[in-house]
Amino acid sequence: MKEVTEMAVKLMAASARTAPKAGGKDFLEIVVITKEEDLEKIAESMKAYAPKSTNEAYWLRDASNIENSQALLLVGLSKPVTAGYDCGACGYPTCGEFTKNRQMKDKEMGYTGPHCVMRMIDIGVALSSAAKTASILNVDNRVQQRVGAAARAIGLIKGEVVMGIPVSITGKSIYYDRQAPAKH
């Protein structure tokens, strides 16, 4: 089934790439991970970070998902640019004010920020389009935040904000009915 999951995740990447984006401008970085050793590196990174987190059990649970996945799609924001809508969702009246006043920060096993809300919506729409494609193909999947942060931290993707969709083809989905974490 490995070749099937690899083809599925590539089709998911196509769905993410062609998803609608604010102003029709594409600032997404999309990476397909199919090598078992890369999936293992991500899972190990998640497990190593877990004790430092306030959500240790969730990091460990998601790391287990990655260890048991056959492939992974990563979707991230490639550049911290605004959409130019002056919508105010960022807390500033104009995109110019936001850009002038924001102070970019980076977080260990997290992201940079703050970012334009429209660009965050772009990531969400791309992830939804990719998950839809996996669903149509009957490939088990789940959008996850922690896997994106870990992949970013170990340099598999450069995006400012990254989320991932691991995929698996087994007799029962590994992404649902997951064991509840012992502590949270």
Residues 75-131 pLDDT 10s: 999 999 999 999 999 999 999 999 999 998 999 999 999 999 999 999 999 999 999
Q: Is residue 86 part of a domain?
A: yes
CA angle (17 as vertex; 14, 20 as ends), nearest 5: 125
Q: Is residue 173 part of a domain?
A: no
| pLDDT at residue 68, as a whole number | 97
| pLDDT at residue 180, as a whole number | 59
With H, G, I as helix, E, B as strand and everything else as coil, classify residue 168. Answer: strand
In the predicted model, is pLDDT for residue 10 greater than 90? yes
Residue 9's pLDDT band, with cuts at 50, 70 and 90, is very high
With H, G, I as helix, E, B as strand and everything else as coil, classify residue 162. Answer: strand
Comparing 10 with 104, which gets the higher pLDDT? Answer: 10
Q: Is residue 177 part of a domain?
A: no
d(CA 111, CA 161): 5
CA 33 to chain CA centroid, Å, is: 12
Q: Is residue 120 part of a domain?
A: yes
Q: How many domains does the chain have?
A: 1
Instruction: Give the residue among 125, 129, 109, 105 at the shortest CA–CA distance from 117.
Output: 125
Q: Is residue 46 part of a domain?
A: yes
CA angle (35 as vertex; 13, 144 as ends), nearest 5: 55
In the predicted model, is pLDDT for residue 184 greater than 60? no
Q: What is the residue whose two structure tokens read 């590539």?
A: 10
Contact assessment for residue 119 and residue 113, using Cβ atoms and an 8 Å cutoff? no
Locate 91 and state its tokens: 């807390």
Query: What digits encode the pLDDT tens for the residues 40-75?
Result: 999 999 999 999 999 999 999 999 999 999 999 999
d(CA 182, CA 93): 44
- Average pLDDT of the chain, as a whole number: 95
In the predicted model, is pLDDT for residue 183 greater than 70? no
Residue 95 belongs to a domain with what CATH number?
3.40.109.10
- Give residue 95's domain range: 2-168
Q: Is residue 12 part of a domain?
A: yes
| pLDDT at residue 13, as a whole number | 99
Q: Is residue 68 part of a domain?
A: yes
In the predicted model, is pLDDT for residue 154 greater than 60? yes
- 110: Cβ–Cβ under 8 A, 6 or more apart, which residues? 149
d(CA 161, CA 146): 11
| pLDDT at residue 175, as a whole number | 94
Residue 179's pLDDT band, with cuts at 50, 70 and 90, is confident
Cβ count within 10 A of residue 109: 18
| pLDDT at residue 177, as a whole number | 80
Residue 178's pLDDT band, with cuts at 50, 70 and 90, is confident
How many percent of the chain have pLDDT more than 90? 91
Q: Is residue 184 part of a domain?
A: no
| pLDDT at residue 182, as a whole number | 64
